[in-house]
Amino acid sequence: MNFITELGQYMIENSSELFALTVEHIAMVAYGIFFALLVGIPLGIIAAKYEKLAPIIISITSILQLVPSLAMLAILMLYFGLGFQTMVIGLFLYSLMPIVRNTYVGIKEVDDSIIEAGKGSGMTAFQLLTKLQFPLSIPFLMAGLRVASVIAIAVACIGPYIGAEGLGKEIISGISLQSDVKIYAGAIPATIIAIIADVALGKVEKKTKQRMA
């Protein structure tokens, strides 16, 4: 009980700083995901349209995700230096795989009869993509986005090691100062963000799916 009041007191006293860290945490994730969408969706489409490129694109993005996060960020730091932008690049690379793969699968999963109907109605290859295949792959894309966001929020916690701030700052300084309160003050908001992202994007995903069932 004592600990909880202590934690509460700490969080209230440092609320403005914690808030700033939370905002920065979200910003890193948002930028990373934004660029991942920007690059990942076209890559997924290319993979779906050109079957021969698909294994190459999918395996490269998969390998990127297999690199341990600390190692990946350290390597990136060698080239891009310390700071926010390095973290964004790291999160971008991490988020690529779920987005590329789900876009690819989503387009592949579109029912053949729908494509045949589109073709038979006189749609060009580009119209098939923009009017049918891409809109119909959105529920899959949303699932990918959700996975990517949760991963990115977690990975962003090791930001301070490469000079980026975010909620990881509280956690890591808590480790070095052996302060339970600091660790919790960073961990709780980070977990809440992850839960909110998961639930909210899950709802969006469900909504897009419903209509198409």
Partner 1 sequence: MIQLKNINKYYEDGFQALKAINLTFEEGKVNVLIGPSGCGKTTTMKLLNRLTDFTDGQILIDEKNIQEINPIELRRQMGYVIQNIGLFPHMTISENVATVPKLLKWDKQKIKEKVDALLTMVNLDPDIYRNRYPSELSGGQQQRIGVIRALAAEPSTILMDEPFSALDPISREQLQDELTRLQKEINKTIIFVTHDMDEAIKIADQIILMKDGQVVQKGSPQELLTNPANEFVKEFIGEERLGNALPPLSEFIIKDFPRISMEQRTEEAIDLMATNQLVEIPVVDGKGEYKGIVNLYQALNNKKATLAELVDDSIEAITRKVDTNFLMKKFHESKLMIFPVQSEQGKLEGIVEREDLYRFLQQFYERKSGGSVWN
Tokens of 181: 């309160």
DSSP letters for the chain? -HHHHHHHHHHHHTHHHHHHHHHHHHHHHHHHHHHHHHHHHHHHHHHHH-TTTHHHHHHHHHHHHHS-HHHHHHHHHHHH-SSHHHHHHHHHHHHHHHHHHHHHHHHHHS-HHHHHHHHHTT--HHHIIIIIIHHHHHHHHHHHHHHHHHHHHHHGGGGGGGT--STHHHHHHHHHHT-HHHHHHHHHHHHHHHHHHHHHHHHHHHHHHHHH-
- Which tokens is 171 given? 């956690």
Least Å distance, CB 139 to partner 1, is 10
| Residue 148 beta carbon to partner 1: minimum distance, rounded to whole angstroms | 23
The nearer residue to partner 1, 5 or 113, going by C-beta atoms, is 113
Name the residue nearer to partner 1 (CB basis): 52 or 211.
211
Q: What's the min distance (Å) between Cβ of 9 and partner 1?
A: 52
Nearest distance, CB of residue 95 and partner 1, angstroms: 25
Chain centre distance of CA 110: 24
Residue 85 is which amino acid? Q
Tell me the closest approach of the beta carbon of residue 52 to partner 1, in angstroms.
19
Residue with smaller CB distance to partner 1, 71 or 211: 211
> Least separation, in Å, of the C-beta of 212 and partner 1?
4
Question: Which residues contact partner 1 by CB under 8 A?
Answer: 111, 113-114, 116-124, 127, 131-132, 135-136, 211-213
Output 96 or 145, the one with its CB closest to partner 1: 145
Name the residue nearer to partner 1 (CB basis): 129 or 171: 129
Taking the least distance from each CB to partner 1, the nearer of 40 and 118 is: 118
